[in-house]
Amino acid sequence: QVQLVESGGGLVQPGGSLRLSCAASGFTFSAYAMSWYRQAPGKERELVAVIFSGGGNPNYADSVKGRFTISRDNAKNTVYLQMNSLKPEDTAVYYCKAMRYLEIWGQGTLVTVSS
């Protein structure tokens, strides 16, 4: 069964950190580019970060550069998003996506940044 399962979301205070995980199964994880998207209430889904199959040269949205880090562990079929210096505007549902010949989406995990 092809699936992506995100975890690690929750409530955090401004300035805090969270690490999201996305566990993949049912496909050749190492061959896929992996990305994180987010969707805030009332807004369109936006790309946060992407890491390619080889792991090098990840790309980030300008709004998260210097604060978020995407990484992958092909041995564990997992992609991560380390989020530091979180801001209230980072509040959103975060989704991971696998992409090669097709796109595979996870169900999302909610991140709330609030005092």
Non-local (6+) Cβ contacts of 3 within 8 A are: 24, 25, 26, 104, 106
104: closest CA among 95, 112, 113?
95
Q: Which two tokens stand for residue 84?
A: 């530091």
The C-alpha atoms of residue 101 and residue 99 are separated, in whole angstroms, by 7
The neighbour count for residue 38, using CB atoms within 10 Å, is 23
Query: pLDDT tens string for the chain (115 positions)?
Result: 999 999 999 999 999 999 999 999 999 999 999 999 999 999 999 999 999 988 778 999 999 999 999 999 999 999 999 999 999 999 999 999 999 988 999 999 999 999 9
